[in-house]
Chains A and B, each alone.
Chain A
Amino acid sequence: MVPRTIDDAGRLLRAKKVSAGELLEECLARIRRDNARLNAFILVLEDEARAAAKRADWERANGIDRGPLHGIPLSIKDLFDLKGTVTTAASRVREGIVADQDSPAVAQLRRSGAVLVGKTNLHEFALGTTNEDSAFGPARHPQDDSRSPGGSSGGSAVSVATGMALASLGTDTGGSIRIPAAACGLVGLKPGHGELSAEGVVPLSRTLDHIGPITSCVDDAWHILHVLRDRRPESPLTSAATATMRLGLPRRYFMDLLEDGVRASFDAAVDRLRAVGVTISDVDIPHAELIAPIYVHIVFGDAAAYHAEALERVPEQYTPNVRARLDMARYVLAEDYVRALDGRRVLRREVDAALRHVDALVLPTLPIVAPPLGAPTVSLGGGDVPVRNVMLRLTQLFNITGNPAISLPCGVASGGLPCGLQVATRHGETDRLLQIARTIERTMQ
């Protein structure tokens, strides 16, 4: 059996009850068993991973301890450069483009002794929330393979949920770490904007892109965050005290459009937090209804600039839906892009104000459970709503403002499918975010 968490695996490795090689072989066995059905991986690095696991075992046997990720099998979203492999971005546009060096994040993971199992599937160029539009076919939800695991880091979430890897490195431009984490019952951390380097990562929008981990628990996210920061934490992660914890709930807009089961799970979580002494009060983001318009103009403006040349040269190499959205993006006017940047400053001030008297904001991550693959709309609030719009609705604000945000498992809704609870803190308070998240995680267990 693969231990579920990095901490559990680390304990077994240190006690010599399991080797890095054995951990890896179990992950590879799961990949062999499930990947054909779930399509989580674009590339499995069996030989390289075996060599890394062997090295980790030798180092441990010789008294070298590289820290919590030493010998731990991890997967990497195929948007990160790994030296000697094609960074596909799940697109035929990038066929044959081999990375000549590791991205800084990948290099940092290697230095920590992590065993990189392979590169995971995603929505092409990270431009989507369902993982359906991929040159390698859709990744599929582990509990119901007719459904999306969320995206764009869908393969990453599937790899962790199924034990093909113990954690994964993803990217998040509008929710692409938090959305699949919520859909698959995992933890997804988006640190503050610019906190971790996105160099060597195929961009969607440099203005909004973040990198971060998808894990099984908050403690694991803490470990990976600190490795990526290249800084050992001064102390282990502790929980925040419930009696003094104050959370703000942005009810208007964020609670307006939720699937019934998601609302029930979130309300139950809020009740449990109140029962253990957490103070939860309503807060407001006055221009919340402008989040989507602001987001759309920034992300499409940025993406249009990056993709313009390839759209002219090899348009047929894109999947049809992604090509159409990128083609549309090229019509965004400069003046409207600037208006969106002005709106970004407004939203940033409003989120800062909402956080002035509370430790963190708490809200659902996804208004719906994992949607069926191929569904353009879902029925919600008495109407049909585009899947893409609804999946981004609650997460994209914190890409616009750059606040650290995390998604935690929050029970299940319809069909026994997971839903997520999101927490966001002030700028520069990612460590505090993880302390609060740990408390919430333990309260809900």
Chain B
Amino acid sequence: MTIQDWLKQSIADAERRGRPELKPLLEGLAQSTQALRAAALGGRADGPTHD
């Protein structure tokens, strides 16, 4: 799932649960997740096997 899709779905879910105030927190988390994914610190199925 892309971060954009995750954020959209998460905000919609929070609103459905009556928790719209989570939106700014989820947006902050999305930025953090973006940085984590962009760093690509772990392995990947189409990459080399070494850590």
A residues bordering B, Cβ < 8 Å? 287, 289-290, 292-294, 296-297, 300, 324-325, 327-328, 331-333, 336, 338-340, 342-343, 345-346
Contacts and interface: CB of A to CB of B under 8 A. Distances in A.
Contacts of A342: 41-43
Interface size class of B (residues with CB under 8 A): 20 to 34
B33 A289 contact: no
B39 A336 contact: no
B46 interface: no
A332 B33 CA distance: 9
Contact of A332 (B1, B19, B29): B29
B34 to A, nearest CB: 8
B22 A327 contact: yes
A216 to B, nearest CB: 37
A333 B13 CA distance: 14
Contacts of B22: 324, 327-328
Contacts of B43: 342
Nearest to A343: B41
A324 B19 CA distance: 8
A339 B41 contact: yes
Contacts of B14: 327, 331
Interface string B7-40: 0001001100001011001100100110111010
Contacts of B36: 290, 293-294, 297, 336, 339-340, 343
Contacts of A292: 32
B38 to A, nearest CB: 9
A310 to B, nearest CB: 16
Contacts of A297: 32-33, 36
Contacts of A343: 36, 39, 41-42
Contacts of A338: 42
7 contacts: A289-B35, A290-B39, A296-B32, A297-B33, A333-B1, A342-B41, A345-B41
B41 A293 contact: no
